[in-house]
Chain A
């Protein structure tokens, strides 16, 4: 039997990826350029007995999302820059209370209302540092319509595995362009469901680390009764200000992600074996970068691309290793230098770093990247 194929937008593909992953709950608020995700979910979720709700505002959507997730559903929301800002307090709630969910954030121009229909990549730091307090972050960067589908499936797996909100962050170009995609067959992609508690309700504690750094989360309404709070808490979920608990819990919530960084971080190395110039790119910008690298190779320039697929945690180890090998990094992005900061941090002065930064609503084009290669010394 041939595979089901379709010609879809990134946003539409993301919704179908969520359904493949077993998403049964969507809470959102209309915002350009992500609204198609909500539209598809509103049509498709009730067909599989799932629930869609359009909330009264962005933070309300994040709250309902966390409520639905706590009631045991795989839960998705979609938003864009201003909405991501408004959701931040409760993204932090999802982090500290350890509630799995997926936030699909389409990057448009900013700050504030910015350029609602223009592409951007300027939310990457907002995903990492937008909510207050120390916390880990996982953010995936699709560069194609197929990746919107596949990465949403993976985001659900990561959310359920690490018990936290996970971001998928296409730029507006990836979210709105149309490409041929394949709907995945059942079993073709891994789908991870939430680990159920192995103890009876009478013995259950929602943050019992005897079960490891990611304790199983029971669902409200499943026979388990427990307490959830945004305060620093004890293993039983109740608030504490005891220094030893607070310190240990905060450290565990970082460790649960950063100890598994090799499992989480995905990337693509393109023409990097003998490269002297490494273009570090993500999202639609990586498509221009690939074109530029091919052109450079045709001209005899030893260029390659490191494509970031997992932006957070940042691929520190890989960039550090590349810094020992290459003369220079070129970091094209649709912001005024966000990925560049991370590359600089990892390169530790061992290689030249040249940014190409556009915030005029136009993509970085291959010619700009080729031109920039001449500056690598």
Chain B
């Protein structure tokens, strides 16, 4: 930066008085200005700062550096002309000077990288094991609630069913409706080339009932409710509410996790069913407009050609997806530490991981159902 750029700052000057080898400093020795000084001095017998107008911490540090640089090894030269407060500042800075040599960083080697990969893999395995343990804990708690149904928090359960279920109906319905329209539109364009327009009904029915309806619903719910679970439980963890529960003899899994997971398991099939329905309606509407397939024809073809198993396959997957979203959302929430940053990080982890796991499990189900032949 330019010297004297700041208003009211005089650029510092340094010069060597030749008769007694004393370095004379003047002007403002402050953090903005000290870097404009570039004096290379040889040996000197003293430093005089009686003409220095302002001296701040950085200025004091500069003086001490300068002294070290120009002193010979045997004894330190004096800094003269300091006022009482300036002397105090110099003394305080001297006690807090940086250590002589900074720790030089070791270059990163191939082994370091390999070790890092290994640690990441092992860390991932640990998380997987912990999460399976957590799943077991939740299932055990739910099982014990079967024998003690009075301990189930009904109010909480209904509240979460409303939050994750009822309030998600509009977005889920609209999404599925639009997907139905897109499928009909794109499908008809391709099938028309073979004169097989009417197969668009099979295309829509199978893809929505079997895969898209429930998969996209699960993805929306993971983004909407999985993140909300993590954020809500995480902020309770941050404010030590979870610890408070434990000291009162309350089980956080029973109170916080079970109602949320159970609500999702109960409500996700319903949401999936709504998605199936609106998806078919959207597809039928577009087939009618685009191909002239009347709703009556669509309905009869749907009933005649689409095996009920397609619908069943979609519905069977729903509770598993719900379990994945709920368990991951709550698990990440309970992992939140004391700082706000971990809350944000884990919330996004929870969503990404839940969506990823939902798709992985969906793929596993595809293979499974192909093997059993439905």
- Answer yes or no: do A and B interact: no
Interface of A with B (CB < 8 Å)? Answer: none
